[in-house]
Amino acid sequence: MEKLLSKTAFMHLLECPLRLWMESVRPELVPPSSAIDRQAMENGEQVDVLAQRLFPGGVKIEGFNRVGFANTQKAIAKGAKILYQPSAVADGLTARADILVRGQGKTWDLHEVKATTSVKREHPVDVAFQKMCFERAGIPIGNTFLVRLNNRYVRDGEIDVAGLLKEEDVTQDAARFEDRIPEFIEQAREVMSWGKQLTPAQLRTCSNPRKCAFLAAYLEAVGAGKRAEIFESDPSFDSEAIAQALGELVYPLHFLDYETFGGAIPPFNGFRPYEQIPFQFAVYVLDEPGGTPRTFDFLADTFADPSVELVDALREAIGPDGSVIAWNAIFEKSCNEGLAKRVPAHAKFLRSINKRMFDLMLIFKRKLYDDPAFNKSASLKAVMPVMEPDLSYKNLNIQEGGTASASWPILTDPKLPKAKRTALHRDMIDYCRLDVYGMVRILQKLDRL
């Protein structure tokens, strides 16, 4: 039987041809999905289920591809007016829609649900592919809509679906892509016919060679030749400019890092979709240059809005004077701004922190200190292992922020056995501390230049 081209595969082509190739020709090389990716998928499923409540009384269609299509046809024949997750198969293409609603005459309106707060560039193409697939399969589509999150919605009690979601007509936007779909389909089939080894020309189709995880996985698999070149270190720096930038700092220095939790559906009252909820911090305080830092940790132990306790703990850690240092400080600043709104009694304190915040990342972003081994990235995960190789995430059970975030609901689940809770608590503290301690060490190194 002919291999079907799914909407997912089609969209992966547009993201990066190497992704589609690897998933169809060398699936064993596909890098495992990150915690962030998994969270995005989970958000998608949750929002999709909620969106069905906007169109009550529909029939849930089981199965994908040919099975799903057969079930879709059966439901239509029985006179169903609203379908959840119906599939269509035609001309070697397959797509699964989120919601179909019987419209005027014989046509159906298609509602695509996205766990996003704004219409993205790829959404109209996505809808156009589905529409083509359903129509070729004999299910005519009238208007097409995008259902998405309303980022002004603030939860108050039970989720109000009509307030959380909003819908817009994308019929016109999708129609603009109709003519180009067949050409993309041809490209997809071409990419899927590439061999197990890629030619340089094929590799160059990668849409973002510097960051693409699929290109990296392929190069890793074909040989270690690239490795030495990537990790060769040859730092360059402007010590005068660095000294000038660091001259702004006022002791005692407070190094701060938050871990946050948040998703499409706000878990607590008072939060918007995707609003970040700080549940953990680590602070290192350096009273004088070259001294030994004092450390402070906070980690909320119940799954409830932790803002008040967190701010109380923060007041213990951060005094009224001295700089506050963070990496990509804009993130910590926005957390503080959110905390200030929820804990107005301490708003003044939180905003004073923001006024004396110093972003250590800017030294690297502005290339006052640069090293080819940073791989053109100024993230802490790129800089720290090069500048302080003995500090490594490799020995930790938690190695990235996304995992730390996902760990919080697990930690606070009352059903978690005590021994596991103790171990996870330790791991989460260790991870957060390493980020902060890395900043301490990097600053001390810059000071010595």
Partner DNA sequence: ATGAAGGCACTGGCCTATTC
Partner DNA sequence: GAATAGGCCAGTGCCTTCAT
**Contacts with DNA, residue ranges (CB under 7 A):** 36, 40, 43, 114-118, 120, 149, 151, 208, 210-211, 257-262, 272-276, 327-328, 330-331, 334, 361-362, 365-366, 376-382, 400-402, 404-405, 435
Closest to DNA by CB, 58 or 262: 262
> Cβ 436 to DNA, closest distance in Å?
9
Closest to DNA by CB, 81 or 433: 433
| Separation CA 47–CA 164 (nearest Å) | 10
Closest to DNA by CB, 15 or 178: 15
Closest to DNA by CB, 202 or 354: 354
- Per-residue buried b or exposed e for 147-169, using 16+ beta carbons within 10 Å of the residue's own CB: bbbeeebbbeeeeeeeebbebee
* Residues present in the chain in total: 449
| Separation CA 104–CA 108 (nearest Å) | 8
Tokens of 325: 């240092």
> Cβ 210 to DNA, closest distance in Å?
6
Closest to DNA by CB, 108 or 431: 431
> Cβ 66 to DNA, closest distance in Å?
28
DSSP codes, 153-177: ----SS--HHHHEEEEE-HHHHHTT
Closest to DNA by CB, 251 or 331: 331
Q: Which helix (H) or strand (E) holds 99?
A: strand 99-102
> Cβ 330 to DNA, closest distance in Å?
5
> Cβ 172 to DNA, closest distance in Å?
18
| Separation CA 129–CA 147 (nearest Å) | 17
Report which of 190, 216, 230, 192 is spatially closest to residue 372, judged by C-alpha positions. Answer: 230
Residue 270: left if φ>0, alpha if ψ -120 to 50, beta else—which one? left
Residue 89: left if φ>0, alpha if ψ -120 to 50, beta else—which one? beta
Closest to DNA by CB, 76 or 217: 217
3-state helix, strand, coil in the chain (%, to 5): 50, 15, 35
> Cβ 272 to DNA, closest distance in Å?
6
Within 10 angstroms of residue 209's Cβ, the number of other Cβ atoms is 14
> Cβ 67 to DNA, closest distance in Å?
27
Closest to DNA by CB, 135 or 167: 167
DSSP codes, 210-224: TT-HHHHHHHHHH-S
- Check residue 250 and report its DSSP letter: -
> Cβ 121 to DNA, closest distance in Å?
7
> Cβ 122 to DNA, closest distance in Å?
8
> Cβ 106 to DNA, closest distance in Å?
32
Within 10 angstroms of residue 212's Cβ, the number of other Cβ atoms is 17
Closest to DNA by CB, 274 or 349: 274
Terminal Cα distance for the chain, rounded: 66
Contact by Cβ (8 Å): 43, 61: no
Closest to DNA by CB, 102 or 272: 272
Peptide bond into 124 cis (omega under 30): no
Tokens of 290: 């070259």
Closest to DNA by CB, 136 or 425: 425
> Cβ 149 to DNA, closest distance in Å?
7
